[in-house]
Amino acid sequence: HRGPAPLDLTPAPGASPPAGAEVLPTGSWRMAAGTRVTDLPGFAEGRFWVQDAAAALPAMLLAPRAGERIADLCAAPGGKTAQLLAAGAVVTAVERDPSRAARLRENLARLHLSAEVVQADAATWAPAEPFDAILLDAPCTATGTIRRHPDVAHAKRPRDVASAAEAQCRLLAAAARMLRPGGRLVFATCSLQPEEGEAHLARAAGLGLAHEPFAPAELPGLPEAITPAGCLRTRPDLWAERGGMDGFFAVRFRRAA
């Protein structure tokens, strides 16, 4: 948490990394801490976007396919939406906050990508028809991002964990209702707290969602981030020799047919 965070980029298809970038095994480009992204060649042209290497994993593990109808819930600032679009999916990006929804649209415009952006609360919004797959990166206490946001360690209180977990339960239940039978769902948070991560495994069973474990082969160069239960759990000390990564949790479910 005390170490400086490098600048990680997710490339657009066919883009070449800028000089000085380290290409990580998971596909992200890593620049030295303190790099100004707007100074990099290719930024204005939309050849990449800022996204911590750990934050890029949930969309990758959803394994989006061309032509699939996918919802990105709580979508701003849009990095995961961009990943889904780059894979050829037809994406509906849902974001509750008006200013964050506007930022999402701006980021997609720079990347020359187009999604249906819906300004709504994902916990109560209902689509016209169910989705093939859903990515839910739920609001959380963000305890996995303290190296980027040190105020988190001082601003969050124990009761905030319980409150966040309750909100995540509502979002997970809503996502399950939006998913077609047999469809898949990746739930993620940037929290290190088990109440906002592993605890959702037991809660999902009552929503008609079956846990579909991740396999180490799905995560090149980072098998240690797959837990014995088949979830994703990254921490700031992983890849320490490369500069670490944010703390993230992700789990994949499939809705009962």
169 included as an active-site residue: no
Give the C-alpha separation, 247 to 205, whole Å: 25
**Please, are residues 144 and 237 in contact by the beta-carbon 8 Å criterion?**
no
Distance in angstroms (rounded) separating the CA atoms of residues 48 and 12? 5
For residue 192 the two structure tokens come to 């290190």
Query: Which one from 74, 140, 169, 190 is the annotated catalytic residue?
Result: 190
**3: DSSP letter:** S
* Residues 92, 68 contacting (CB under 8 angstroms): no
If you search the block for the tokens 């970038």, which residue do you land on? 21
- Compute the residue count for the chain: 257
Residue type, 133: A
Which positions are annotated as active-site residues?
190
